[in-house]
Structure 1
Amino acid sequence: MIKLQPAPIPAELTKEVIQALTDEYKRTDKAVWQKEYIGKALLNSSYNKCCFSECKLNEEGKYDEIEHYHPKSLYPDEVVSWSNLLPINKACNTAKGNHDTKLEPIINPYLDDPKDHFYFKGYRFYGKTDVGRRTIDVVNLNDWETWVVPRFEVGKGVHEILEAVLELARNYDTGRSNSTRSRNNLLSRLRGIMIEGTEKYVYSATVATLLLNEEMYQEIKIILIRNGLWNENFSSIEKQMRYCALDTKP
C-alpha cells in the first residue's frame, strides 16, 4: 500500500448531483455511485490499482469496485461524498464489508501515509500502530493465497533480475565486458526494475522495499557511481522508490 494523491472531484459531481444521488440511494438502495466519470477518476488517481492491495484492477479476476471508506449502509449521507470513495478490488471490498471506520478507523490511503502504520517483512505487512494492525485484519492484507504468494512471486522476479544486473555490473567494473552495448544493457535493465518500484506500478511498495534493502542493489549502485554511470535519472527514480517503500522494522 502506498500514499495516494486525491483526484479532483469530477465536474459532473456537483452539489446538486450529490444531493440527488444521495436521495435516490436512500429511496431505492440503487448503486448510484456506479458512474463512469466517478470510476474513471478514482482509477486514474490510483494508477488503475486497488488502493489497499496494489493489485492491477480488471486483471486476473480482480475487478474494480468503488469502495465507501465509511460504509454506505451505516452512513448513507456519504454514499457519493467524494472524500468517501476509493478504488478497490472485490477481495478487499468483501473483507472490509460494513466495518465501521468511524468507530474503528483504518488507513485511508488518500489521507494517511501507510508507512506511518506498517512495516514489511517476509512479504507480509505488520502494524506499527493500532490503525495499521486493524487495517491488515479488516482488509485481510496478509491472506496467504490472495496476497502473500503474489508478493512473493514479485519478489522472486526482483531477485532474479538483480542477480543478472549485478553480474553485468561486475563484468563492466572489472573490464571483462565494458563495451557501449554492455553498458547500455546494464543501465537499461537496472532502470527497468527500479521503475517497477515507483507508484504507477503494481505492488510498488513491495518492489521498492525489497530493492532499497537488498545488498545486491546497493553493490550495483556503488559500481555505477564508481564508473560515473549513476546519474540524475537514477537518483530521481530512487527518490520515487523511497516514496513507496515501507520500513522493514517496527
Structure 2
Amino acid sequence: MIKLEKPIDIPQILIDKQKEWTDHLLQLVNKYGSYKSIPKDEKDSALKYYRHKDITEPLFNSSYEKCAFCEGMPKDSGNIEVEHFYPKSIYHDKAFEWLNFLPSCRKCNDAKGNHDVGCEPILNPYDSDFDPIIHFEFNLARLKGKTDIAKNTIEVCGLKSRLYDPYSKLIKVFCEYEQDLDEAIEELAKKDTERKKLNQLRKISESIDRIEYLMKPTEKYSYFCTFMITNSSVYLSAKELLKEEYEEVS
C-alpha cells in the first residue's frame, strides 16, 4: 500500500447528479424497509451510476491502475472496481460520495465486503496523514502490521497470505538484479584504465536503474519493492560507490 492522492476536482457528473442518485437510493431503503430488502434489479439500477467512466477514469488513474489496498494490477488480482470505503450497505448516504471511492481489485473488494470501517477502522491510502512506513514492514515475503489499524487492514482485506506468491516472485527478480550488480562491482576493481573504469561505472549505473524501476509508484507492489531494495546492503553500497567514483573521476 502506498500513499495516494485523489484528484481535488470532483467529477462534474457527481456535482450534477450526486444528490439525485443519493435521494433515489434512500427512497428505496425507506420503501422496502432496509437496504438488504431492495429487490436486486432495482438496487442494481439505482447503484450503477458510480461506475460511470467519468468517475472511474480519474479514480483508477489516481492509483496508477492498481488496487489501493494490495497494489496488485487487474491482471494479477481481478478486475479493478470502485470500492466504497464506508460500505454503501450501511452508509447509504455515501454511496455516491467522491471521497468514499477507492479503486480496488476484486479480491480485496470481496474480502472487505461490508466491513464497517466506522466501527473498526482500517487504513485509507488517500488519507492526508497516511504513511506506509509507520504502519507496515516485511519479513521476507510476509506483510506485517506495525500498528493495530495496519494489522486490522491486513486481516479485513485478506492480505495475510495472498501476497506471498507475488512477493516471492519479486524477491527472485530482485535477487537476480542484485547478483548482476554485485558482479558488476567486483569487475570494477579489475579495470586498469579510466575508460574501462567509466564503462564499468556505466554498467553499475544501469544495474541500479533496473533495480530502482521496481520502486516506481506505477509498478505493482512498489512499496514492497521499495522496502526490499532500500534495505539491501548491495544496493546501498553500490549507490555510495557510484557517488564516490564519479566524484573522483570528475
TM-score by length of structure 2 reads 0.83
**Contact 2:201–2:242 (CA under 8 A) maintained in structure 1:** no
Instruction: Judging by fraction of residues, say which structure has more helix.
Output: 2
- Pick from 83, 88, 95: which aligns with 1:67? 83
Give the length in aligned residue pairs: 227
> Which of 1 and 2 has higher RCO (CA within 8 Å, sep 6+)?
1
Q: CA deviation at 1:172?
A: 2.0
Cα separation, 2, equivalents of 1:61 and 1:200: 16
SS of equivalent residue, structure 1 residue 77 = helix
CA contact (8 A) 1:10 1:37 kept: no
Q: Percent identity?
A: 30
Letter in 2 for 1:221: K
Deviation at 1:179, TM superposition (A): 5.5
Per-residue CA shift, 1:97-145, capped at 9, x if unaligned?
Answer: 10000001000010022322222222222222211111010001122xx
Paired with 1:134 and 1:35, the residues of 2 have a C-alpha distance of 31
Choose which of 39, 49, 54 in structure 2 pairs with 1:32: 49
In structure 2, what is the Cα distance between the partners aligned to 1:199 and 1:173? 34
Of 143, 146, 150, 1:128 maps to 146
The structure 1 residue matched to 2:235, chosen from 197, 217, 221, is: 217
Q: Structure 2: which 5+ residue stretches go unaligned?
A: 29-41
RMSD: 2.1
Deviations 1:131-186 (A, max 9, x none): 1111010001122xx31111111111011111101211221244169355543332
Q: Which moved more, 1:150-159 or 1:180-189?
A: 180-189
CA distance in 1, matches of 2:197, 2:147: 51
Q: 1:47 to 1:21 in 2, by over 3 A?
A: same
Could you tell me which residue of structure 2 aligns to residue 92 of structure 1?
108
- Quick one: distance in 2 between partners of 1:113 and 1:25? 35
Equivalent position SS for 1:13: helix
Amino acid in the other structure paired with 2:180: A
Partner of 2:3: 3
For the pair 1:187 / 2:205, whether they are aligned, the reply is yes
Aligned to 1:79: 95
2:70 equivalent among 37, 53, 63: 53
Are positions 1:109 and 2:125 aligned together? yes
Distance 1:229 1:10 in 2: 48
Q: CA shift at 1:11, angstroms?
A: 3.4
| Cα contact 1:62–1:90 (8 A) shared by 2 | yes
Query: Could you say what secondary structure the match of 1:228 adopts?
Result: helix
Structure 1 spans left out of the alignment, 5+ residues? 231-250
TM-score by length of 1: 0.83
Q: Deviations over 1:16-48 (max 9, x none)?
A: 311122234443322321111111111111111
Q: Which amino acid counterpart does residue 157 of structure 2 have in structure 1?
A: V
Question: Could you tell me how far 1:87 is from its partner in structure 2?
Answer: 0.3
**Structure 2 CA distance for partners of 1:61 and 1:106, relative to 1, 3 Å:** closer
Distance 1:155 1:46 in 2: 23
How far apart are residue 61 of structure 1 and its match? 5.6
Give the Cα separation in 2 of the matches to 1:62 and 1:195.
Answer: 24
Alpha-carbon distance in 2 for matches of 1:61, 1:212: 26
Deviation, structure 1 residue 226: 2.2
Q: Which contiguous aligned blocks of 4+ residues in structure 1 show a shift greater than 6 angstroms? A: none
Q: CA deviation at 1:229?
A: 7.0
1:236 corresponds to: none
